[in-house]
Structure 1
């Protein structure tokens, strides 16, 4: 595990369950005070926070819709007031709804870009002003970009935008010693992945990587821990593809 000082603070967006909750747990184990951000699922967020506190970690649940700049500002305000100035931002919040491009509604396109792109943009812009020097930002892309799967046009396009923002922002923060990277998971065993898929489709995805299994939330949490910690001190502006060798 990393040897991060206890006083460092991490915000994990979309952390009430799934990969986000696993990241919150891992960063808490690494020594961070953790802000568990959620948009609507207060019960799951509080359950995650309560489990962290029961294990002796400092954690706080904060509601914010990351697609709204004013709520992102309030998220940082609360984090600073309750736990201290932020050192790590993990942009895990995201939406995935599958539809052929020709059948993708204006509403779905706007929602996908609002959360996946505008949300990451809002938090990074706020972090530019408020993250401690030497901080770390970890964004989320997807292995779907490499696979070019039919039905994922809006989702993949939103994550391509996140990858572009990641590389450019890393260069714009020159002089601050702030590192900006992204992780691009392959298929991971979460509710988001299972939703709408048949058992046969799930099995097909599990067989695709050479490692012949779905990823687990903890697999991705370990990658985020690496990118947020000191062992990745020479890694900046990169996309780490954690997909079991799928692409």
Structure 2
């Protein structure tokens, strides 16, 4: 399967300054796209990525709250002002609250659903007027929605990602029929981002790696490669799918 060139394409990546988002930005730029990197707080990481890694001619950083309507509208407006259109939309920003039923507060619930579900939904809505036929949306789910090893503290997170997968299932039919826009998702397994490694002991990391038939943790670049594929012409006959990118773990 070939991704193909993304020359002339404009991509928007929320949560794009680190981890899977940053790796995806690099993958898309390598294929010829220009990217808008959205970030919430860490402007220095975003500017470093734009200036030192991607190149200022290839990328533009925009600060915005990807879980609020106002933030989403400002991100879309900044993208259109800079590049005039949107071809690839990747609502990657998310939060992973470790909360079982007994320990979930209303604030936890609202924060998780705002960033993980409301944000992607309304980002697609606000971007649509600027997306032509053949454009793509790639949402982010999680292998935890399909893993037998999942446990209680993932309850809230998996609820948000279950909603994302339903968006893919129904939004893909709607947008493809009306506008010729495909909608898919990737569902990464454990992936070695800075956030993933934070607070985990070496023993725990070895245990997580042992769940995978490759006996290792995935890399952001491996997930980014799948996102890049779904963003390109090589995937133009794929829509409504959630692709599990986990090295065969689930």
- Normalized against structure 2, the TM-score is what? 0.94
Q: Distance in 1 between matches of 2:52 and 2:224?
A: 17
SS of equivalent to 1:211: coil
Instruction: Note the alpha carbon deviations across 1:174-200, whole angstroms, 9 max, x for none.
Output: 142210000000000012222332221
In the TM superposition, 1:10-89 aligns within 5 A as 10-54=11-55, 57-89=57-89
Deviation at 1:133, TM superposition (A): 1.7
Matched, 1:155 2:157: yes
In the TM superposition, 1:71-110 aligns within 5 A as 71-110=71-110
Deviation at 1:68, TM superposition (A): 1.0
Q: Distance in 2 between matches of 1:149 and 1:179?
A: 32
Residue segments in structure 2 that go unaligned for 5+ positions in a row:
none
C-alpha RMSD over aligned residues: 1.5
Deviates more, 1:223-232 or 1:66-75: 66-75
Q: Distance in 1 between matches of 2:54 and 2:208?
A: 36
Deviates more, 1:144-153 or 1:179-188: 144-153
Residue segments in structure 1 that go unaligned for 5+ positions in a row:
none
Deviation at 1:24, TM superposition (A): 0.5
Deviation at 1:97, TM superposition (A): 2.0
SS of equivalent to 1:101: coil
Matched, 1:183 2:186: yes
Q: Distance in 2 between matches of 1:82 and 1:126?
A: 16
For the 8 Å contact 1:141–1:183, the answer to whether it is kept is yes
Q: Distance in 2 between matches of 1:183 and 1:127?
A: 20
**2:240 aligned to which of 207, 220, 237:** 237
Deviates more, 1:45-54 or 1:105-114: 45-54
Deviation at 1:5, TM superposition (A): 4.7
Q: Distance in 2 between matches of 1:13 and 1:184?
A: 16
**1:171 aligned to which of 173, 194, 203:** 173
For the 8 Å contact 1:38–1:61, the answer to whether it is kept is yes
Q: Distance in 2 between matches of 1:164 and 1:124?
A: 14
Paired residue total: 246
Instruction: Note the alpha carbon deviations across 1:19-77, whole angstroms, 9 max, x for none.
Output: 100000110111111000101110101111112444x7510000111111122111111
- Normalized against structure 1, the TM-score is what? 0.95
